[in-house]
Homo-oligomer: A and B are copies of this chain.
Amino acid sequence: MALVNEHFLKLSDSYLFADIARKVNAFKVSHPQMRVISLGIGDVTQPLCPTVVDAMHKAVDEMASADTFHGYGPEHGYDFLREAIIKNDFAPRGIHLDPSEVFVNDGAKSDTGNIGEIVRWDNSIGVTDPIYPVYIDSNVMCGRAGVLENGRWSNVNYLPCTAENGFVPQIPDHRVDMIYLCYPNNPTGTVLSKAELKKWVKYALANDTLILYDAAYEAYIQDADIPHSIYEIRGAKQCAIEFRSYSKTAGFTGVRCGYTVIPKELTAVTLDGKQRVPLNHLWERRQSTKFNGTSYISQRAAAAIYTPEGKRQVRDTIAYYMQNAELLRESLTQMGFEVFGGRNAPYLWVKTPHGIDSWRFFEQMLYAVGVVCTPGVGFGPSGEGYVRLTAFGKREDCEEAMRRIGEWIRSTH
């Protein structure tokens, strides 16, 4: 008699963004005349850059002839891509990696979701709060999060990031086994300075903590002193896994490619404390068993980003989104909103007016002006009283959204 994994039954019925999509669809059905503008889900709107498009056409043509056809690739990705990654994303920052430390994947969501498989189900976890829901939900599914009590999971250490502490999470005063950090941060759009990140590496080394470092938004960093990779910090290779994604860097949300770095020197311990096991090898075993590599065409697309033209084109698109971010930030600030983030990240974190709760503000704004945001509480308890806006829209939609919200605020508040 097949028994169900009952940990799944502890989860809310659906994933945050599925919830939002349902509410937006309900609104659209009842308000067919209103053009909805989404500044909610973090999906890009600009097309792939020409160099990437050319590379994909070329890869498709290769697949059309037996002589150049590519079947199964290496589960961990092609060397042409792994080498381009190391040469362009790490070497210039003084970080030396071996190709076998880079695992190409079909996007950061898969790997941030699955990485927990290689460590014990009962390790304690720490998360900055608010946080990307996948980190929590994937741990609930295997029982690692514990049980839900008053909106908090019993085996999860929440590290609040709010306006009050300048969105800098406090280092725990006790040992936590695994810590998720995402910088530039989703959802708050804030960053950690090198000095702050150093404290985390020091804590992790002292406590044998595994840091799961999500750097999916590093391409949006504008300030020179903000670290792009946790491996810029000495010692991080012994305590951190880093996740990267092309989704936001180069508009690959529909193309599906990213990568995960697991240094050879990174280990976790057996229960008896006697053996240190390299996690690189376990992840290699996991991937070669449960994954067959991402599309050859997607990997060729990713490699094209590292050509001189590719780099320039990708930079232009990021500049476009960051101009959106500036537009949103300035407009909302002028309207009287308290706005965080948006300087080194494509996300803005906005305090709801008069402290109303974030789902209520989401609904008010949707029904008043047809603009979709993401309720902050969807990212965790400390997200209550905030909403997230993304800079990934088209310029004219950002402008129109600001015009609508401006009129609404003037007329009602």
Q: Which residues of A are interface residues toward B (Cβ below 8 A)?
A: 1-6, 8-9, 11, 13-15, 17-18, 41, 43-48, 50, 53, 56-57, 60-61, 63-66, 69-73, 106-107, 109-110, 113-114, 117-123, 133-134, 137-138, 141-142, 175, 177-178, 207-210, 251, 253-256, 267-271, 277, 279, 282, 285-286, 288-298, 394
Contact = CB atoms under 8 A, between A and B. Distances in A.
Copies of this subunit:
2
Contact of A254 (B255, B271, B289, B295): B295
B4 A268 contact: yes
Contact of A292 (B110, B269, B296): B110
B66 A118 contact: no
B2 A72 contact: no
A117 to B, nearest CB: 6
A63 B44 contact: no
B113 A291 contact: yes
A117 B47 contact: no
A68 B2 CA distance: 44
Nearest to A282: B8
A46 B66 contact: yes
Contact of A269 (B3, B53, B64, B70): B3
Nearest to A70: B254
Contacts of A121: 5
A50 B65 CA distance: 10
Given A4-B270, A47-B66, A48-B64, A256 B71 contact: no
Contact of A18 (B5, B63, B282, B288): B288
